[in-house]
Structure formats: structure tokens, C-alpha cells
Amino acid sequence: MILLDTNVLSELMKARPQAGVIAWLNEMETTQLWLSTITIAELEYGLQVMPGGERKTMLKHRFDGFVDSAFSGRVLGFGFRPAVIYGEIMSHRRSEGRPMSVPDGQIASIALSRGLKLATRNTRDFQDCGLDLINPFK
């Protein structure tokens, strides 16, 4: 199973997503793809701070519909086990002189808590976390 990072879902929301990402996605079994509540929060925030207008309305509608239909029942939250793993990851990365952003640490900990691979463009941001990483942008 694979957890999609925010940048993967963001790419899918574009009017013209990268062909390679679409090709990768088409090879995947849909039921094997998961989202985190962190990704939803990041994208929702991005939508909320956009200037009002037709584009914002269209993107918000597309985002809500896509998440509701394509990922129904496959959204993972940041609960107790991910919180413990988050503390471990963040302290390890800090001690190595390579701190992580809070959202990246949360996404990594959700994936690790469920034994999921992580699909992301930013593989470097997630190195040394114990994750199997996939870059669908390559």
C-alpha cells in the first residue's frame, strides 16, 4: 500500500498533470493508494489562502469531489501510534542536523505506523526515516 504525499495529490489537481505521474497512477491498484489527513489539511489551507474567484471555486470543487470519490474510506489520521513515531523521527533528524518540517514528519509517521510506502516528489525530505520511497515524477 502507498501513502500519497501532498505534492502528488496537488499534481493530480492540476488542469494538466505531468504525464509520467498519470502513467504511474494508472499502473496502481486504486485501493492500494491512501491519503493522510495532513495532506488534506495542507491542500485545504492552500485553497483557503488563494484569492477568491473562479479558479479557487473550481479547484475547491475538484479537490472535494476527488477526495470524496477516489479516496472514500482510505484517509489515515494522525493518532497515537503516528504521534509516537513522529517524536522518534523528528528527534532523530534533528540530532543528525537535518530537521524535518512538521507536516513531513507527520506524513512520514503515518506511513511508518501502517507499513506504507510513500509516494513523493521530495524523496530527499524523507530520507533516513525508514520509509520505502517512490518518486512518481521520474
Per-residue pLDDT tens over the stretch 10-25: 998 888 999 999 999 9
The mean pLDDT value of the chain amounts to 94
In this structure, what CATH number is given to the domain that contains residue 125?
A: 3.40.50.1010
For residue 14, what pLDDT is reported?
87
Whole-prediction pTM value? 0.93
Residues 6+ positions from 120 with CB-CB distance below 8 Å:
5, 7, 8, 126, 133, 134, 135
pLDDT confidence tier of residue 5, bands split at 50, 70 and 90:
very high
Q: How many domains does the chain have?
A: 1
Query: Strand 117-119 relative to strand 75-76: parallel, antiparallel, unpaired?
Result: unpaired
